[in-house]
Structure 1
Amino acid sequence: MADVSFTQTFHHTDWVDDVDRVRAAEPNGFNARFNAIEADLQQLSAVVAEVDEVLSAGPTGSKQRRLTLPPVLAKVEGVTPWVIGSSGAASVTPGSSATGLLNLSLPNNVTLTTFRAIGEASGAAVTVALSSVALGSATPQQLVSVTGDTDPFDRAVQLDPDVARTTTATTRYFVKATVPTTPATAVVRLAAVQITYVVD
């Protein structure tokens, strides 16, 4: 966008009582002054129109964004929940299983590119999946998943372009983290989930 500026041209000079003869014509008359004010307003109007055109056009080109989500996993009925620790990480009680859901509020009509999970897993594995479900449906579609089975783990996968475009008017999205029953010595923590997407 080019620089936009406005330069005032009219500067009022006060009339003096009993000295100035105010007339319609003349360089200091009403007509000259009001014409100068009108010219400034026309220039200002042109500048406002130029700014409006740029703002209405919006940003150009693709922009990559990254959404980092804390693992505030909601309990799923009938299964053992994750435990949220003082650091904000979600963990599994040793010797048990855990399943939790994280509902997402994603931007509409963007392209999801990467799904990433970060944490630690010793003696067990955690599956973290990104899914969508049509509004009014009870059947989700898994878009992508990662498995964490090392201490620490940092896994990222690319999404299939065929399912990567968000349609939030008709679809909702959520993350599901699942760990099967672990040994009593196992340690599993989920620190964060990241979603990278492109706005175009």
Structure 2
Amino acid sequence: MYLYGASGHSKVIIDILKEHHIVVTAVLDDAPKGDFIYDVPVVQASQKLFDTSDVLIVSIGNNAIRKNIAQRLPVQFYTAIHPSAVVSSKATIGVGTVVMPNAVINAFSKIGDHCIVNSGAVVEHDCVLENYAHVSPGAALAGAVQVGEGSQIGIGACVIQGVTIGKWATIGAGAVIIDNVPDYAVVVGNPGKIIKYNEPS
């Protein structure tokens, strides 16, 4: 098992893997700032020759960077779910996704590849998170919310039922979303208002 990205996010993933008695061989990083993170060796990523037998999680919180790295690695991606998370047997979760402590994912929700459902987040029934989306700590999605690729739901934000959030949108911390959000929009406040648009990359 390898992680790619020596960040604070990687520390939480290591914790999750330890709960499952999975040993992380190394954390790979493009610009290592130390020899260890947690108690795991940090290795320059360019020194590792990847192949399809390697198992890995991209441990980077930035959605765009996570996508870039995931798309170029010829490996098997692992899905990590903390034992304290509550995940319905009727929910589906994609490869490379991480579900943090005390998160809730309810019935018939579909979580894409390389998503993050962070600590204490709630994803209610029939929600859809497309690939590389991130629901931050304490955020809550009511039933049948759709979250587009790469979008970020900020810490403590709330989204009412049936809302669609476009791709690569950013929902600010504590925002209350009662209307659909277009692609690339940055939305803050209660009720949520668009303040600008991210540049498509």
* TM-score, normalising length: structure 2: 0.26
Structure of larger gyration radius:
1
- Specify which structure has the bigger relative contact order, considering alpha-carbon pairs within 8 angstroms and separated by 6 or more residues: 1
Question: Per residue, is there more strand in 1 or in 2?
Answer: 1
